[in-house]
Amino acid sequence: VAGAIFQRYSMLANAAFSRTSRPLAAVASYVVSRDGRIVNARLTQPNMNPIYNAIVITAIHSLDGNSQILQFPQGSRRMTVDKSTTFIQDNGAGLNRYKPTGGDHETIPTGR
């Protein structure tokens, strides 16, 4: 999920900040529901740049309803998954980065 959001984020951020000379970063949290929805998307550590913040939230919401990407593994019993990701535009080496935070793990019974 984070990788798909990052691809969309990079496209938007590169277009808007192609001449940025300093790194931009923000941390966003969101919830993925079993029915393929993204809810409660918010910036937990916003950037000082409101355009950058809007790009991060727009990239997250762009996957809302995409059941191919937001599908839960077969056998999962959860109804939602909490996600948090750090987005960085131009990390000082000219690269965009993202870092999913937290270790989300679910043990799914094998059915034996």
Separation of alpha carbons 16 and 6, rounded Å: 15
Spell out the per-residue pLDDT of the chain, length 112, in tens.
878 888 898 889 888 887 766 788 999 999 999 999 999 999 999 999 999 999 999 999 999 989 888 888 888 888 998 999 999 887 666 677 888 876 566 666 666 5
Say how far apart CA 112 and CA 103 lie, in whole Å: 27
Q: Report if pTM > 0.85.
A: no
**Buried-state track 47-64, b at ≥16 Cβ within 10 A, e below 16:** beeeebbebbbebbebbe
What sign results for the dihedral spanned by CA atoms 16, 23, 39, 78?
positive
Tokens of 47: 């950037």
